[in-house]
Amino acid sequence: MDLLYALLSGVAMGVLIQRVRASDPGMIGRNLRLENLSIIKFMALTIAVGMILVYLLSLVTPMHFDIKPTYVVGVLVGGLIFGAGFGIGGYCPGTCVVGFGEGRKDAIWAIIGGIVGALVFTLVYTTLVQPMNKLMDLGKITLADVFHAPAVAVAIVVAVIFFIVIRLLPTETGSARG
CB of 152 to other proteins, least distance (A): 10
Q: Which of 73, 100, 106 is nearest to 88 (CA)?
A: 106
Please report, as residue ranges, which positions from 1 to 60 form the binding site for other proteins (by CB under 8 A): 2-20, 23-29, 32-34, 36, 38-39, 41-51, 53-55, 57
Collapsed DSSP state (helix, strand, coil) of residue 133: coil
153 is a site residue for other proteins (CB under 8 A): no
Q: Long-range contacts made by residues 81-87, C-beta under 8 angstroms, separation at least 24?
A: 86/28, 86/32, 87/29, 87/32
- Chain positions 83 to 102 lying near other proteins, rule: CB under 8 A, are 83-102
CB of 171 to other proteins, least distance (A): 6
The alpha carbon of residue 118 and the mean position of all alpha carbons in its chain are separated, in whole angstroms, by: 18
Which CB sits closer to other proteins, 70 or 160?
70
Options 127, 131, 135, 146; binder of other proteins; rule CB under 8 A: 146
Candidate residues 80, 135, 164, 169; the one interacting with other proteins per rule CB under 8 A: 80
Judged on CB neighbours under 10 Å (0-12, 13-18, 19+), 58 is: middle
The residue among 117, 115, 111 whose CA lies nearest residue 97 is: 111
Compute how many residues bind other proteins; rule: CB under 8 A: 126
Residues 116-145 touching other proteins, rule: CB under 8 A, are 116-122, 125-126, 129-130, 132-133, 138, 140-145
